[in-house]
Amino acid sequence: MNDPKLNKFLRQWRDVEPRGNFDDNVLRRIRQAEAIPVRNSWFDWLRQPALATIAAVVIGLMAGTIGGLQSAPRQTSELEFMAPTTLTGAYLTMRTK
Amino acid sequence: MPAVDDQLLEQLRTGDEAALVELMRQYRHPIVNFCYRMLGNAGDANDVAQETFVRCYQTRQRLRPGAKLSTWLFTIARNLCLDRLRYRNRHPTETLESAPEPVTISNEVGNREVGAAIAAAVAELPEDQRTVVVLAEYHGLSYSEIAEVMNCSIKSVETRLYRAKQTLRDRLWSWMD
């Protein structure tokens, strides 16, 4: 829509001027941001003692849980009592015959 | 793209602060005014425009050779304006002071009223239409440049501009007579 009347009218909304200390504020903000150390990786987070302790505890708990699960005796089948060599199994065999 | 942009871009990529100062000299006025028309508040506009140049400097390594600095700056400014508008929506009580102030710097009372009426009408547009109308009418960006800033198609820019102008004409017709 090319509406010269509207376009001309819209131009009556005047500009504002940037504040006088604009450039200084930008440079100050950049220096402030550069002064804050940037953490680049997860390993940097682990350098903090509290986080390192929490991470060690979590890893220890996970290792313990996995180890415990692997060393536990394997669960036998729930229907093992119905095998032919058991009392129930013998009874079932007898019934079917 | 002008050669001066190329040279400035290369200097900026090396972290030359003088290049940043030159960039601000060229673009602070349009960026502040883009933010002003998006946010409706001169204080917020200056704050967001300053943050735009900070981000620009911090992410200078991402600038591709041959990139257009103005498009890149408007893209950063637009994203920061959207963040600010979302913040206002989430924290309405904290942002009362930064609510839109549809006033102009004109000394003439009549012009000030007209400016306020335009500001109010533009502020009521959906954000995407507002961005298109501000970039097209007040900054003279081409449709392809606006599409790049908004990460959309040229057709979409045309549609949004058409709808925005229709709405503005309806809202401002009594002022235009």
- The answer on B11 and B89 residing in a single domain is yes
Name chain B contacts of A29, Cβ cutoff 8 Å.
50-51, 54
Domain boundary (B101, B126, B146) is at B101
Instruction: Give the sign of the dihedral formed by CA B69, CA B70, CA B71, CA B75.
Output: positive
pLDDT digits (tens, 9 = 90+) for B5-15: 788 888 888 88
Domain boundary (B66, B101, B136) is at B101
- The answer on B113 and B28 residing in a single domain is no
Cβ neighbourhood burial of A91 (10 Å; 0-12, 13-18, 19+): exposed
**Cβ pair B106:A10 closer than 8 A:** no
Here the CATH number for the domain that contains residue B117 is 1.10.10.10
| Residue B172, min C-alpha distance to chain A (Å) | 9
> At a CB cut-off of 8 Å and minimum separation 6, what does B73 contact?
B23, B27, B31, B52, B53, B56
- The answer on B50 and B37 residing in a single domain is yes
The shortest CB-CB distance from A18 to any of B32, B162, B169 is to B32
- The answer on B146 and B73 residing in a single domain is no
The shortest CB-CB distance from B50 to any of A13, A16, A29 is to A29
- The answer on B91 and B124 residing in a single domain is no
Which pLDDT does position B104 carry in this prediction? 45
- The answer on B120 and B69 residing in a single domain is no
Domain count, chain B: 2
- The answer on B126 and B65 residing in a single domain is no
Name chain B contacts of A5, Cβ cutoff 8 Å.
176
**Cβ pair B168:A1 closer than 8 A:** no
Question: Quick check: A82 and A88 in contact, CB under 8 A?
Answer: yes
pLDDT digits (tens, 9 = 90+) for B37-93: 999 999 999 999 999 999 999 998 888 877 788 999 999 999 999 999 999 888 876
Instruction: With a threshold of 0.95, tell me whether the complex ipTM lies above it.
Output: no
- The answer on B26 and B15 residing in a single domain is yes
Whether A62 has a pLDDT exceeding 70, the answer reads yes
Whether A82 has a pLDDT exceeding 60, the answer reads yes
Residues of the domain holding B38: 1-101
- The band of A95, judged by pLDDT with boundaries at 50, 70 and 90, is confident
Which pLDDT does position B64 carry in this prediction? 80
Over range A67-86, report the average pLDDT: 74
- Check residues A20 and B99 and name the one with the higher pLDDT: A20
Which pLDDT does position B105 carry in this prediction? 44
The shortest CB-CB distance from A10 to any of B49, B105, B118 is to B118
- The answer on B149 and B80 residing in a single domain is no
Separation of alpha carbons B7 and B9, rounded Å: 5
Q: Where are the alpha helices (DSSP H) in chain B?
A: 3-13, 17-39, 42-58, 69-90, 109-123, 127-137, 143-150, 154-176
Domain boundary (B101, B127, B154) is at B101
pLDDT digits (tens, 9 = 90+) for B90-109: 887 665 555 565 444 444 55
Helix axes B42-58, B17-39, angle to 10 degrees: 140
- The answer on B88 and B11 residing in a single domain is yes
| pTM of model > 0.80 | no
| Residue A42, min C-alpha distance to chain B (Å) | 22
Question: Quick check: B61 and B16 in contact, CB under 8 A?
Answer: no
Cα(first)–Cα(last) distance of chain A, in Å? 93
Which pLDDT does position A36 carry in this prediction? 77
**Cβ pair B114:A13 closer than 8 A:** yes
pLDDT digits (tens, 9 = 90+) for B149-168: 999 999 999 999 999 999 99
pLDDT digits (tens, 9 = 90+) for A34-59: 887 666 666 666 667 788 888 889 99
Which pLDDT does position A2 carry in this prediction? 75
